[in-house]
Amino acid sequence: MTALKARVVDVVHETADARSLVLEPAEGDRDRFSYRPGQFLTVRVPAGDGWAARCYSLCSSPLTDDRLKVTVKRVDGGLGSNWICDNVTAGDVLEVLRPAGTFTPSSLDEDLLLVAGGSGITPVMSILKSCLAGGRGRVALLYANRDERSVIFASELRALTERHPDRLTVVHLLESVQGLPTSAAVRSLALPYTGRPAFVCGPEVFMDLVTDALGDLGHRVHVERFFSLEGDPFEDPDEPEATEAAADAAEIEVEIDGETRTVPWPRSDRLLDALLRAGVDAPFSCREGNCSACACVALEGEVTLDANAVLDERDLADGLILACQARPVSDRLKITYDG
């Protein structure tokens, strides 16, 4: 079973429509909750007579916070957000998948530009706190909201700015004051930080606007996009067809969490299913090719991807693949999750 258990220690009312869940891993699962700044948790939520899954970013920092924390903003008609905001209380135990995601900086020492809209501040906050605590770079944050009451982590951002006046700059864009963000406004505010890696999270329209504006300035832009998952990724993978001969399977060498294993990869199987069936604790979330939680690097060999909604041409050129969508072409392959 791939699911982990996490107890809700506290529920923090951040704003009128946003809640943070402070989580304590079950004792036996603690080692599997290590995470990088900007990653997310996949949470199992009830859906009618069955189950569904939703992804929520960690706003805690692995460098400064003893416990994990995710922030959930209520969405009109949102299955997971409304259930969490209305029902989850301290003492509840949630089923989650191990932290995952590629929305994380390669170094905490480089100068960064962070851009968030609404609850998109959640993974950005994790990156921001981690850089200030464990790195040497400067951080600029552009944060868009409807009004002052909508600003999640307002007091924490003020405290961090006062503590790091030479390294942290926070600029608020409030619809109630400046109107809706425009490409020109974002470009003007980002101009002093031209060339910095940019991390962008927020509503889809907002991210598209920001990505276009920053692209004009030459930024390498990283975005975090979440999709409503169609299935239940907590279900165990199906067994491969019994008629498939073991002799026809490819061989995959996988590096993960500092260890190396070699396992068979049936050609009709997707890589993630083959790894999970072999007992490899590989990260994943959607199993639909939409979230990049299962992304790894192909060091040797060739694969095909059934679907890909998140990796761009540069990612593919760098060898990134989606384990939940990859099928083998070569007879022998080597991948890493540690690179």
- Whichever domain contains 64, its CATH number is 2.40.30.10
The confidence band for 241, taking pLDDT boundaries of 50, 70 and 90, is low
Shared domain check, 46 and 19: yes
Structure tokens at 160: 């961090």
Residue 286: give the domain boundaries. Answer: 249-336
Judge whether 241 lies within some domain.
no
Structure tokens at 85: 């905001």
Region 77-84 average pLDDT? 93
Question: From the CB of residue 19, how many other CB atoms can be counted at a distance below 10 Å?
Answer: 19
Judge whether 239 lies within some domain.
no
Token pair 């031209």 is at which residue? 194
Token pair 């002052």 is at which residue? 148
Judge whether 186 lies within some domain.
yes
Among the candidates 190, 209, 224, a domain finishes at 224
Token pair 């068979």 is at which residue? 264
**Which tens digit of pLDDT belongs to each residue from 166-201?**
999 999 999 999 999 999 999 999 999 998 999 999
Measured distance CA(327)–CA(316) in Å, rounded = 15
Among the candidates 173, 190, 224, a domain finishes at 224
The confidence band for 243, taking pLDDT boundaries of 50, 70 and 90, is very low
Q: What pTM was estimated for this model as a whole?
A: 0.85
Q: According to the model, what pLDDT value does residue 1 have?
A: 47
Question: From the CB of residue 78, how many other CB atoms can be counted at a distance below 10 Å?
Answer: 16
CATH number of the domain to which 311 belongs: 3.10.20.30
Shared domain check, 220 and 127: yes
Judge whether 107 lies within some domain.
no
Question: From the CB of residue 152, how many other CB atoms can be counted at a distance below 10 Å?
Answer: 23
Measured distance CA(263)–CA(250) in Å, rounded = 9
Q: Identify any residues that bridge with 45 across adjacent strands, giving them in sequence order.
A: 52
Structure tokens at 148: 């002052």
Among the candidates 163, 190, 224, a domain finishes at 224
Contact 169, 121 (CB under 8 A): no
Residue 118's contacts (CB-CB under 8 Å, 6 or more residues apart) are 73, 144, 145, 146, 150, 152, 202, 203, 206
46 pLDDT more than 70? yes
The least confident of 115-129, 217-231, 262-276 is 217-231
Shared domain check, 220 and 118: yes
Tell me how many domains the chain contains.
Answer: 3
Contact 39, 104 (CB under 8 A): yes
- What is the chain's alpha carbon radius of gyration, rounded to the nearest angstrom? 20
Shared domain check, 116 and 80: no
CATH number of the domain to which 162 belongs: 3.40.50.80
Measured distance CA(214)–CA(281) in Å, rounded = 37
Judge whether 178 lies within some domain.
yes
Shared domain check, 44 and 147: no
Would you list the DSSP string of 258-281? TEEEEEEE-TTS-HHHHHHHTT--
242 pLDDT more than 60? no
Shared domain check, 139 and 87: no
Judge whether 238 lies within some domain.
no
Judge whether 94 lies within some domain.
yes
Shared domain check, 199 and 152: yes
- Closest alpha carbon to 61 in 124, 110, 117, 109: 124
Shared domain check, 199 and 150: yes
Judge whether 240 lies within some domain.
no
87 pLDDT more than 70? yes
Measured distance CA(178)–CA(321) in Å, rounded = 41
Q: According to the model, what pLDDT value does residue 292 have?
A: 83
Shared domain check, 219 and 137: yes
Measured distance CA(80)–CA(52) in Å, rounded = 8
Shared domain check, 299 and 332: yes
Region 326-335 average pLDDT? 96
Backbone φ, ψ for residue 255 (5° rounding): -100, 125
Shared domain check, 211 and 145: yes
Shared domain check, 301 and 265: yes
Token pair 């995710």 is at which residue? 70
Residue environment code for 295-323, b if the CB has 16+ CB neighbours within 10 A, otherwise e: bbbbeebebebeebebbeeebeeeebbbb
